Chains A and B, each alone.
Chain A
């Protein structure tokens, strides 16, 4: 089996799909993944693919024109997943997609489509949770910075929501795990930025700044709970502890 390995970014993944497809080894004889395996196997051959604009664009066009733009946006969304088999599943779904057309994502009786659905849903759920649980911190006057630690690479999926919500503020959301961020200057469009190590260490300390509304929020958070209905199990169910890392009310 030949294993195609690429970096975890969308353009590199598309190039990887291109290379895997054009290797002509037979779909059952190849596998795609976005990180080098922890344990290499003697029987497999490993190929590292790097980003190539031409290859990426031809896959992009093929999916958009031969399947549908909806399917393209769905697979791009699912590609934010950190699951090991995410890219491979996308590849398998594309094989079915080129055969059956735009309705492929509804054919959940295929196990690859069902798995794709699961991955897509978990990314969507996580993105939604962090839309809820992102906490901005005001550093200096009117400069809002938030840190999150998600499992998937979802920071890009948060941009549109917060851009609509606060178009006229300066804000930035930083993914501490994957060192990615989105930045929005006041009244401008937001953009995605991969952070260098230097930038990242400088940004780490933003939560130490004193923000008076954080204290007011804690007061509110404590007094709004009804003690007769105390139910930590339900609270943990709805707001899992691992998602609370940057939620100021729990600090």
Chain B
């Protein structure tokens, strides 16, 4: 691998390598809470801080760059694949350190997101990335947030030292099934992704146990209030991530199986459990990836259904204790027979629905089986997954705001964890009415169909699926939905849709 022009300026390099990194979605700086120190630069805030918003509306929280966009792999969907003729560049470790600290001092960013194409070999690349992080943490005394991408296939010692230097470590799953992985990413295999992933999980768990924490990552506080969430089984075990966290009986021959078998056989034995390599190295007295592990999947490049994707995500949360799973709508950049054509629209709405469902898993105590099934493998276009669930379970509604439990309230469309908390606190000191709900931030536009305050609904609302569905679908998406499902559109009818009865005067 060589560069045609060796002397690119720093701004040109930054342009090439941030442009190459932009398709990575994980730009969060959350999950790690660390105070600043005199003589060091930076702290880390558990909620994460966004510093700007780019023209596509996505937040800019970290300096998201590739170390290099040279790559020996030829993944079909990737802009930096070997067979693409694009400008290539490589940052030196010092350039990355200077950019990070100088941007950080100006409050442009919250930290560094370092990914890379694979140069020479996964080990060589990972070693270079670790060298950069070590320089940044020691010589540049940077104490802010760092997210590093582990390169699949790198040795476990290198991934270990990356985990000790960074706050979050992630490996991209990219595709949720074995078949599409073999078609679109021929140099990667499920094993080369799952093995380091479960090794990192074990590493995080053993480091957490060593400092007296629960082996599993902290989750949103609301999960402690809910009786049955995807995280609750693991919590009760209070120890190793065990075989009970397998997701049973979902599809055959999928990555889920590989994850299950990885958990079962405790695959990590091959790599050994990560412990600090040299306990005397005080410069590295750091927790192992305190903000956990994450991954991302590409949506729409291959033929998986939403059900496949969400099942994989749930398995990753339960089995491998991932902190986040990100979804990235596929943007056609390469022309290839194995990929959707270049004119394919970006499936933004589908991505949005997947994120909504992902939050339902992590904050609302839902499980994938409740939202989707083999018979109904995709999300509705017209309504969000929570409304969709509520409409299929109208027998549970309306719920009484002044009496309902956490588990019931959190499932009402228009009410989220914050609103539930406020309702619970307010109703200890007085009755809650609709005006107060509005001030608390409950979205009455949706919630009004599903709740009562002191036994009354907000208006005269029949609990009928069709009536409510009509009012919950917003106009733009409804049009899109109708075009996609032409059979579903029916002529509007005053008598049926609006409940008018034929006059008998």
Which A positions have Cβ atoms within 8 angstroms of B?
103, 106-109, 114, 117-118, 131-138, 144, 146, 162-169, 187, 211, 213-217, 219-235, 237-239, 247, 249
Contacts and interface: CB of A to CB of B under 8 A. Distances in A.
Given A109-B430, A219-B11, A228-B346, A166 B106 contact: no
B57 A231 contact: yes
A229 B440 contact: no
Contacts of B430: 107-109
Given A109-B431, A165-B42, A235 B56 contact: yes
Contact of B38 (A187, A217, A223, A238): A187
Given A220-B63, A238-B59, A132 B346 contact: no
A106 B426 contact: yes
17 contacts: A103-B429, A106-B425, A106-B426, A108-B430, A109-B430, A109-B431, A136-B106, A164-B43, A167-B40, A187-B38, A217-B106, A220-B15, A221-B54, A224-B64, A226-B23, A227-B55, A249-B52
B107 A221 contact: no
A68 B433 CA distance: 28
A11 B48 CA distance: 34
Chain A CB within 10 A, most for which of B39, B331, B431, B439 = B439
Given A117-B439, A166-B36, A235-B57, A226 B331 contact: yes
A229 B348 contact: yes
Nearest to A164: B36
B428 interface: yes
A226 B428 contact: no
Given A106-B425, A132-B51, A217-B108, A226 B56 contact: yes
B388 to A, nearest CB: 23
Contacts of A108: 422, 426, 429-430, 436, 439-440
A166 B108 CA distance: 13
A134 B38 CA distance: 21
B49 interface: yes
A229 B57 contact: yes
A106 B43 CA distance: 32
B454 to A, nearest CB: 12
Contacts of B99: 216
Contacts of A165: 36, 41-43
Contact of A146 (B58, B107, B426): B107
A238 B57 contact: yes
A19 to B, nearest CB: 30
Contacts of B14: 216, 219-220, 223
B136 to A, nearest CB: 16
Chain A CB within 10 A, most for which of B54, B99, B346 = B54
A220 B422 CA distance: 40
A146 B38 CA distance: 21
Contacts of B267: none
Contacts of B108: 135, 213, 217
Nearest to B34: A164
A133 B51 contact: yes
Contacts of A224: 18-19, 21-22, 54, 60, 64
Nearest to B102: A213
A144 B103 CA distance: 12
Contacts of B431: 109
Given A114-B436, A247-B52, A228 B331 contact: yes
Contacts of B422: 108
Contacts, number: 157
Chain A CB within 10 A, most for which of B43, B52, B106, B436 = B52
Given A108-B439, A223-B19, A167 B37 contact: yes
A165 to B, nearest CB: 5
Given A108-B426, A165-B36, A223-B18, A230 B106 contact: no
B105 A229 contact: no
Q: Considering the complex of A and B, which 3 residue pairs feature the smallest CB-CB distances, nearest first?
A: A234-B57, A109-B430, A225-B54
A217 B59 contact: no
B53 interface: yes
Contacts of A221: 52, 54, 60
Nearest to A144: B105
A105 B79 CA distance: 54
A242 B198 CA distance: 46
Contacts of A229: 56-58, 329, 331, 346, 348
A87 to B, nearest CB: 21
Given A106-B425, A221-B52, A235-B54, A226 B22 contact: yes
Contact of A230 (B40, B56, B64, B425): B56
A167 B19 CA distance: 33
Interface in B33-86: 35-43, 49-60, 63-64
A238 B27 CA distance: 15
B220 interface: no
Nearest to A169: B105
A224 B425 CA distance: 42
Interface string B439-460: 1100000000000000000000
Contacts of A233: 57
A136 B436 CA distance: 40
B349 interface: no
B107 A134 contact: yes
A82 B148 CA distance: 42
Contacts of A144: 105-106
Given A220-B18, A223-B18, A213 B52 contact: no
B483 interface: no
A239 B19 CA distance: 22
